[in-house]
Amino acid sequence: GPRGARGGSAMGDEWSGRSGGCRRARENGQGITCHHGGTPFTELVMHRSGQLDDNSCSMCECPEPQQWRGPNCNACAGLQACPPRLSPATGAPEEAVACTEASVVPQPVEVLPGRSKSLMCTCGGDPVSDAICGLAQNITGYMDIERVSEAPERYRFRGFQLAGVPDPPPDFPEAWRYRYAQPVAWTGEWDDCELVQADCPDIPFGNANDRRCVKALCDAGETHCPPEGVPSCPTWDGQRCVEPGNGTTEAEWYWQKTCSPLIIPRSAPIDFTCATDQNEDGAFHCYLFQRSMGVGVSMQCFTGECIYPSDCAAMPMGEACLYNQTYDADQIRYVPADYTALGIGLVLGVTAGVVALLSALVATYLWVSHRQNARGGPDSVGQKLVVDHGSAAPPGPSVCLTWWEVSYSIRPQGAGWLHWRSPRPHKVILSGLTGYVSRPDALLGLMGPSGAGKTTLLDVLAGRLKRGVVQGDIRLNGARAAPDAVRRASGYVPQEDVLPGTATVWEHLLFHAVLRMPRARTLEEKKARAWQVVLQLGLQKVVDSLIGDEFVRGLSGGEKRRLSIGVELLMCPGLMFLDEPTTGLDSSNAAKVVDILAELSHEAGMSVVLSIHQPRPDVLRTLGRVLLLSSTGQMVFSGPCEALEAHVAGLGYERPPKVNAVDFLLDVVIKAGKEEAEALVSGFRKSEAFSREEDAMDTAHASRMAPSPRGGDYSKGGRQCRSASGLPRFGTEFRMLSLRLLRNTWRHPMLVLLNFVATAVAALCLGAIYFDLGSDMAGIQNRFGCLFFILLFQSVMSLSSLPIWREQYRLFLQERDDGVYKTLSYFVAVALFDLVPLRMLPPSFFAFFTYWMAGFRTDYVSSIGYFLLILVLSNVAAALLCVAVGVASPSNRVAIVVASALVLLWGLFGSFMVSPASLPPYLSWISYTSYIHYAFEALVVNEFAGDDVGYLLTTGVPDTPPMQVTGTRVLTFFSYDPDWFALDLGMLGVLAAVFGCLSYAFLAIKSCSRLRVSSSSRSSGTSTVLDLRHVDSQLFAHGGSYSELRDAKGVVGKTQGQGEAHPPPSGSAGLSRANLSWRVHSYHLGSRRAAGKVILSGVHGCVGRAFDADRSPLLGLMGP
């Protein structure tokens, strides 16, 4: 009933001190039974509200508490309290031999049939339980533990609870209102219980305690509230017991206790835990925990039964009556609650397994790489082949490429869905281009001003454009050629060298030789072909040098360009396309590159088409034919170089002396207006040069027609994505790509080391910040925050690989266009040998450091295993997301912005910052696409679900104590369902697989050609495409010996010499001037212990007006 301030009213003064002697309890047989002279405690106290205090009939007043104690005065305080008795068996007097007051563990004699271990308890023992027990007065409990079987050993647990009730005398006014005031609150019985030892949980026994507890684990039970046989309230109206009126009388209220779930267990499994050590007053601290409710309450329990010789005589033969003097719990199976050692062992085992796997892969790489990259000695097959065939390659089969009225247009950027109502017309890039390349003048140079479309024309002819509309007729040896057919029959060298910086020249050439040459060729033959290319391009001195990138110094620009050409030469293509191969090179290297191409064209019978920007006269003389484009993408001239001067003169232009015809016509084209440009185009089409070109094309068609088993109609167009013929099997591609990825990691470990170091530091810092989290409300919230930060940190670290991945992606696109390997082989290799080291090992730092430092759960060894599994899955999902975004994005900036936005968005909807249950329907779907949502939810469920240790959960109600709840109750409070764990793990794996499929799909789409082509053929003849992508063992060039090779590796540069700065000459005015002179004796690359490759030797120079006032202070550094 409601409480008021104590104090007597007029009625209270009259009845003060009187009580009913617990007659209501005696009438129903549910009262307390006092022993050893004790009497029931009863007191009549009236509140000012007119109601009686509920403090009576639930406990006894013991006359000698130093002898007998407990709520019913039935627990002996020591052997001295046990009186002599007559033996039930003989009737003779006997003295007690022991009192079991010091052992909460049932002694053997206490669990004989018909006997039980009794505990007499009062409610309270920790601040939270004291507040809960304060909701009623004088709450006491009585627990009996009875053994029901020995094999297996099982116990029955009985209990009942009493609470104080009002106890008015019979003549008390309105005494009928207390007819339901019974002290027994509930009774319960659990038949299947197991006794085990365990470390005492933090709640309620204190954080980081080292106490040992005995726990009764009871799985099935039944409780009754109120107990059976006790008169119960007919009707409840809210919190009041009422009896409805009959229409003429009003409803009457009655006093009866409510069945509060905070202190009354349900018919469900419970745990009853008691510390094995006693408090100062001799009581044991026990804890009755309701698993289904996730709440519990502390009790202070006394025990003690006098043991006599006749009791021990009833024991079976050979069994002890008592354990020992200390009554410890060693006879009960110990169940450790802390699996820290096992968890650390699990993390170390997983980490060691991954490290062992990576070590085996690295060892395999070193062995295979050494075996495969070995060049052999003087008797090697490659050396013999080079010597046998000499330095020159005999003429091989040539390719005639012709094109007629080729035009190319593209929709301008921004003319997509924003202009769907009024589509903008296509922009014309090329228009009406006609030409050919074939022997004997098989070296064609594409020239024109910047923006004229030279690279576009080259890509159209090579079949490498990704979008746009092409019109015209393109033929190989007189047969219509589809883009993939041209790619198979030709080699292509882009303007920018895209090469793996961590590979050497030999490794890169051998990589392409193994993957691109026919499978029928042996490894020695492929090595021989690679050596031919090395000798042919003059790369002997740098064959063992790293190619180099922005992190590693390597080859010069000319050497990289020659290597790019050499990669395509490995296949001995009949047709070669080069996009401005001399751009970025000095004049000497440019001339050398063109000379090599001219030699290949004349001696090896290879047709070469290259775009070139204003070459030197000697380079121009090397070109057999040129095709000049106007600034509008139209043809100004096409034909032999020697016919250009006559054509210029025929147009009415006078060429200045000492200016070659090509440079002069280029200047005219650049400076020409629209009308003059059109006049130049129409003038060529009306000229004899154009007629000769058409005749030459007809002749080439007639002489180059050849049947082929492979056909292709260029007019079909559409999306073409066919594998190049002769590609090796998946296993070979996967092996070579894996070796290159391992090599990249081995020689460029910075990304891996930074990832590992950053993750280790973050794990340690996070463990220090969240060190030893408690079980209160702050500890619960900090656990949520720590888990979420780990996921967010891993996602951010995945973003760091985007720039490096984009560089690798550029190399993939080029090699995939060349048909080096299939997209699937590349994706699988990257997934296994790039993602695994960076995504499986770093999460182990959080499992090894943060998990234990923060004090996450250790009662199940599987918890740490699931923790590591969830982190790995989420890390893999984040990495695959970055791969998908990186592939789909046009640049690094866009990729970083998009990936960062996705991570932040999914982090916002990751169920930590915003609960999914509170989101409106039009936003809630976002959380179900977030891998962070599933990972965080799985981590939270893994941390709290099934945790019976208990947490302090603040209800938020003023003046209400926090509730002792289980981890499952915490999940329910924060709207998490423990049953979602399997679904979260499954969805996390599904999202990782989806991101992986998207990554592969984007890679496959980006690596496919997408070109619409319409045909305007001059003839109706049909033919097939001649596939010339093969290697003939007779095509060798430039023999040599291995003795010519030198090691060019070096990592440290050294210089010797001196430099001087000179003041400006006297009288100088205006801007400040500096004069510089130097004398450099030498500069070399090598190790710190030995000199290496000499780069400079004996270089002297100066610049400045102080040295020569009449000359310009502009110094040019030139050389090959």
User: How many residues would you count in the chain?
Assistant: 1120
* pLDDT value at residue 264: 73
CA triple 370-1045-517, angle to 5 deg: 55
pLDDT of residue 420 exceeding 60, the answer is no
- Which structure tokens are listed for 1029? 């992508």
Q: How many Å from the N-terminal Cα to the C-terminal Cα in the chain?
A: 105
Q: Give the residue with greater pLDDT, 62 vs 244.
A: 62
pLDDT of residue 789 exceeding 90, the answer is yes
Contact (Cβ atoms closer than 8 angstroms) between residue 281 and residue 236: no
What residue spans of 570-687 are helical by DSSP H? 587-603, 617-622, 644-650, 661-671, 674-685
C-alpha to C-alpha distances, 1051 to 183, 229, 523, 549, 748, nearest whole angstrom: 90, 94, 31, 14, 14
Q: Assign residue 87 a region: left if phi > 0, alpha if psi is -120 to 50, beta otherwise?
A: beta
Q: Which long-range contacts (CB under 8 A, 24 or more apart) does 75-81 make?
A: 75/101, 75/118, 75/120, 75/302, 75/303, 75/304, 75/305, 76/101, 76/304, 76/305, 76/306, 77/101, 77/282, 77/304, 79/306, 81/304, 81/306
pLDDT of residue 355 exceeding 70, the answer is no
- Cβ neighbours, 10 Å, residue 6: 11
* Bridge partners, 159 (sequence order): 143, 188
Nearest in space to 186 (alpha carbons), one of 225, 213, 222, 216? 225
- Cβ neighbours, 10 Å, residue 1033: 13
CA distance 773 to 944: 13
What is the radius of gyration, based on Cα positions, of the chain? 46
Q: Is residue 970 helix, strand or coil?
A: helix
* pLDDT value at residue 1090: 46
What residue spans of 181-255 are helical by DSSP H? 202-205
300 CA to centre of own chain? 51
Mean pLDDT of all residues in 471-499: 83
pLDDT band, very low/low/confident/very high, at 1018 (cuts 50, 70, 90)? very low
pLDDT band, very low/low/confident/very high, at 777 (cuts 50, 70, 90)? confident
CA distance 104 to 327: 8
Mean pLDDT of all residues in 359-387: 55
* pLDDT value at residue 1058: 54
Cis peptide bond prior to 440, omega within 30° of 0: yes
- For the stretch 108-129, pLDDT in tens is 899 888 899 999 999 998 888 8
pLDDT of residue 185 exceeding 90, the answer is no
pLDDT band, very low/low/confident/very high, at 144 (cuts 50, 70, 90)? very high
Q: What are phi and psi of 627, to 5 degrees?
A: -130, 115
CA triple 217-221-225, angle to 5 deg: 125
Mean of per-residue pLDDT scores for the chain: 76
Contact (Cβ atoms closer than 8 angstroms) between residue 437 and residue 400: yes
Q: What are phi and psi of 757, to 5 degrees?
A: -65, -45
The winner for highest mean pLDDT among 322-326, 526-530, 586-590, 1021-1025 is 526-530
* Bridge partners, 624 (sequence order): none
- For the stretch 938-985, pLDDT in tens is 999 988 887 655 677 776 666 666 666 778 888 888 888 888 888 999
β-pair type (607-611, 443-447):
parallel
Q: Give the residue with greater pLDDT, 943 vs 1009.
A: 943
- Cβ neighbours, 10 Å, residue 496: 13
Contact (Cβ atoms closer than 8 angstroms) between residue 733 and residue 821: yes
CA distance 38 to 71: 10
Cis peptide bond prior to 916, omega within 30° of 0: no
- For the stretch 601-627, pLDDT in tens is 777 778 888 888 777 776 777 777 888
CA distance 8 to 11: 7
pLDDT band, very low/low/confident/very high, at 8 (cuts 50, 70, 90)? very low
* pLDDT value at residue 73: 94
Q: Is residue 617 helix, strand or coil?
A: helix
Q: Give the residue with greater pLDDT, 103 vs 256.
A: 103
In sequence order, what are the residues at sequence separation of 6 or more whose Cβ sits closer than 8 angstroms to the Cβ of residue 297?
123, 129, 132, 133, 262, 263, 287, 288, 964
pLDDT-above-70 percentage for the chain:
74
Spell out a b/e string for 922-944, using b for 16 or more CB atoms within 10 Å of the CB, else e. eeeebbeebbbbbbbbbbbbbbb
pLDDT of residue 228 exceeding 50, the answer is yes
* pLDDT value at residue 664: 80
The DSSP secondary-structure symbol of 615 reads -
Nearest in space to 1094 (alpha carbons), one of 1062, 1057, 1055, 1065? 1055
- Which structure tokens are listed for 474? 């393109």
In sequence order, what are the residues at sequence separation of 6 or more whose Cβ sits closer than 8 angstroms to the Cβ of residue 259?
185, 186, 225, 226
pLDDT band, very low/low/confident/very high, at 631 (cuts 50, 70, 90)? confident
pLDDT band, very low/low/confident/very high, at 74 (cuts 50, 70, 90)? very high
pLDDT-above-90 percentage for the chain:
12
Q: Is the dihedral of CA 384, 389, 392, 393 positive or negative?
A: negative
Contact (Cβ atoms closer than 8 angstroms) between residue 423 and residue 414: no
DSSP 493-541: E-SS----TTSBHHHHHHHHHHHHS-TTS-HHHHHHHHHHHHHHTT-GG
CA distance 184 to 202: 31
Contact (Cβ atoms closer than 8 angstroms) between residue 984 and residue 938: yes
The winner for highest mean pLDDT among 249-253, 309-313, 1091-1095 is 309-313
* pLDDT value at residue 719: 32
Mean pLDDT of all residues in 458-474: 84
Contact (Cβ atoms closer than 8 angstroms) between residue 961 and residue 127: yes
Positions of E strands within 479-604: 479-480, 490-493, 575-579
* pLDDT value at residue 122: 93
Residue 1032 host element (H or E)? none
DSSP 5-57: -B---HHHHHHTT---TTHHHHHHT-S----TT-EE-----BBTTS-B---BS
857 CA to centre of own chain? 24
CA distance 516 to 819: 8
Nearest in space to 762 (alpha carbons), one of 797, 808, 714, 737? 797
Q: Is residue 1059 helix, strand or coil?
A: strand
- Which structure tokens are listed for 993? 């697989």
CA distance 613 to 446: 8
CA distance 67 to 63: 9
Mean pLDDT of all residues in 660-687: 81
* Bridge partners, 1094 (sequence order): 1084
Spell out a b/e string for 71-99, using b for 16 or more CB atoms within 10 Å of the CB, else e. bbbbbbbeeebbeeeeeeeeeeebebbbb
